[in-house]
Structure 1
Amino acid sequence: MQRFTQGFYGYVVAMAVCLVGVGVFLFVTPQSRTERIPRVDYSFDVANLRRDAPFPVWTPEPVPANWIPNSSRVTNQKGVVTWRLGFATAKRKHAMLVQSDEKPAAGFASRMANVNQAVGSVQIAGETWEQRYRKDKNQRSLVRLLPGSTVVVTGTAEWDELTALAGSLKQQPQATATPSATATATPAPSATN
């Protein structure tokens, strides 16, 4: 019995016991085989942008079928407002909508697309979008320069998915300021006899 607990045989027996233990643990532990993509609610960012952004805000309405919004981030650095809204597409590729009033607009678009050369243009919902492609990153981008802002739809998604996102964009109306709660009410006229 001693020869099975020392030396090489002891090592083999100890490894076999450990592997059996790990196998039993994996067998009895429930495992999820479903994909888990975090979902974010970006409605608060849209409401804040409608109120505070110095440019018209564009949002997907509706979000393309089976797409999951998984990131939303608004930054305001030195007076430059930028919104990034990311999606896992129906084909589980990445697509992102980016809007900003950064100047120069062409420089911002090139930075978001990771390339400064257009490969063509496409008409989407009656508007012309510039197409850009960076092969080594497998990144496709649609760029639209607007008065006062730049809109970029970019990612590893195929052109048809990026086109669907760009085609779903609707301009949101600016939020109106709410009346001040400290406004004084006009007193009711008094009755005279």
Structure 2
Amino acid sequence: MAKTTEPRVVAELGRPETPEETAARKAEASRLHRVRQTFRNLVASLVVCAIGMFLLVVLVPRDDTSRLPEIDYIAAAAQAQPDHAQPLAAPVLPDGWVANGAEIRTGADGVTEWYVGFLVPGPSGEPAEYVGLSQGLDANPTWVAQKLTDRTVTGEVNLDGHVWTAYDHLDLPDEERGNTAYALVLEHDGSTYVVYGSHSAEAVQTVARAITAGFTD
């Protein structure tokens, strides 16, 4: 004779479960199991995705084409020098300074210009401001006025024994500053050096000092 299984006694009820209660309990246990399994699967998927993103960042080569070019302006000056009697300025600047342009230009007025554009690093090391160097070979006052968009002279600055004409317009609103908010001009040995910047006098003066440091007389 088959053994009869006694109904399960539920403590909370104080009596055996009914068949309906047993079925409901098993259904709830099955649902909770599926919920826990789904949560574990979700966590596992997130971990796999995080690992995949990490590998993507570490292993996939970065596209640096959007970065500004860094020009070896000292080499460019040496390459261009044989075609010009006057020494082309190639100032030696602090670490972190880079040039994003270096070339010989000839304007409509016929003045030949050696141009170098510098990017000045900020506290984080990223470029924070711009300083331009324009060396006019046998230039004239009109050329200087054009380079500085007719800015007015505000005084003089003596840097290491060389007196530069100053154009200090750093007090202008940002929208009026342009790249010539502060500028220095010096004539020496047939060249007119115009150094100008968008943010600070200190950066422009750094380039000016480096230029005169290269003078041989």
Q: TM-score, normalised by structure 1?
A: 0.63
Q: Which runs of 4+ in 1 moved over 6 A?
A: none
In proportion to residue count, which structure has more strand?
A: 1
Counterpart of 1:112? 147
Counterpart of 2:166? 131
> How far, CA to CA, are the matches of 2:139 and 2:191 in structure 1?
9
Cα contact 1:67–1:89 (8 A) shared by 2:
yes
Relative to structure 1, the CA distance from residue 129 to residue 100 in structure 2 (aligned partners, 3 Å threshold; closer, same or farther) is same
Aligned pair count?
145
Cα contact 1:97–1:151 (8 A) shared by 2:
yes
State the secondary structure of the residue aligned to 2:104. strand
- Tell me by how many angstroms 1:133 deviates: 3.4
Percent of aligned positions that are identical: 21
> How far, CA to CA, are the matches of 1:76 and 1:115 in structure 2?
20
Q: Which amino acid aligns with 2:144?
A: A
Relative to structure 1, the CA distance from residue 89 to residue 142 in structure 2 (aligned partners, 3 Å threshold; closer, same or farther) is same
Q: Flag the structure with more relative contact order, 1 or 2, with Cα contacts below 8 A and sequence separation at least 6.
A: 1
Structure number with larger C-alpha Rg:
2
The C-alpha deviation readout for 1:2-34, integer Å capped at 9, x for no partner, is: xxxxxxxxxxxxxxxxxxxxxx9xx957598x9
Counterpart of 2:209? 167
State the secondary structure of the residue aligned to 1:55. coil
Cα contact 1:57–1:171 (8 A) shared by 2:
no
> How far, CA to CA, are the matches of 1:77 and 1:112 in structure 2?
11
Structure 2: stretches of 5+ with no match in the other structure: 1-48, 123-127
- Tell me by how many angstroms 1:72 deviates: 0.8
> How far, CA to CA, are the matches of 1:70 and 1:146 in structure 2?
25
In proportion to residue count, which structure has more helix?
A: 2
